[in-house]
Amino acid sequence: MADRLGRHGVWTLAELDGKDFPGVPLAVLGYPVGHSISPQMHNGALAAMADGWPEAREWRYHKLEVPPEALPDALNRLFEKRFRGLNLTIPHKVLALEHVVGIDPVARRMGAVNTLKRLSSGYFGYNTDGYGFERAVREELGIGLKNEVVILLGAGGAARAIAVQCLESGCAELWVGNRSAQRLSTLLEILAHTALDKARLHGFELARPPHDLPNRGLVVNATPLGLRPDDPPPIDISRFDDAARIFDTTYGVHESSLIRSAALRKMRSARGLSMLVWQGARALEIWTERAVPAEVMKREAEVALQ
């Protein structure tokens, strides 16, 4: 099967024809999806869970490359093949909203789903990104979101989930910066429905940070800058006090320029691998309705990145 699926073990829609998936299949859908390390994380956790829950040996997590226009067909075919759970990554998190039979209230406020669970009538949507972010910040940086000042950089899907989570967890202030003024405005309009106190919510252009932007608090990079080793930091870190904490949602075998800059200043920082682990652990909890060994998932993710 490894040869047929290629180097990254990715299924295509065409390869689903005539293929049976015994046991309880799971999958991540994306375009592209070859880089995903979710199968290693989930299959490693399921193997560990089998010691106390033998049924876990029947569960298996796969990768499926699905172009955005093919998502409705993919969901129908995977439902027919009895895939118990699905994770969605770029570009499917928003597209899937129109093709599920129900949406968790938190996911609805975030305007995106990244986790689908099979019901008798179709797939039900959840979003575990915000949960993964909050757990990662607590575990890696030792702080909660309640009463925290958050400076969020970016206005994409991940930023939307993080912003809603910060507001719902009671952050003191939320500052959102983005390069595109139009995209920033759209996100702020969405967030205004979640922010009970509108005075807590601020927007700014990344190219021109305002003079009153706080220099302490939690700085979160939710932009793509950091995916490549030579990417510049999304904001000049020198404007922040040494007491500020830095969380970069990007991850990989290298450290981003933002994380490197924070290390030179001896600022406490963390990268996004822990967020990936915790959102994945929550998804597996939703599907299995059992406790999930997040430490195993983290170990498997670190090995996969090597």
Helices (H) and strands (E) in the chain, counts: 11, 13
Write the DSSP symbol of residue 250.
Answer: -
The continuous run of DSSP H or E covering 20 comes out as none
Residue of 295, 249, 300, 236 lying closest to 275 (CA atoms): 249
Count of C-beta atoms within a 10 Å radius of residue 36: 22
Catalytic residue among 63, 81, 93, 146: 93
Beta strand pairing call for 115-119 and 102-103? unpaired
- Cβ neighbors of 46 (< 8 A, separation 6 or more) are 56, 57, 59, 60, 61, 284
Residue of 303, 281, 283, 302 lying closest to 292 (CA atoms): 281
Residue 166's SS3 state is helix
Residue 93 is a catalytic residue: yes
Count of C-beta atoms within a 10 Å radius of residue 182: 9
**Catalytic positions:** 93
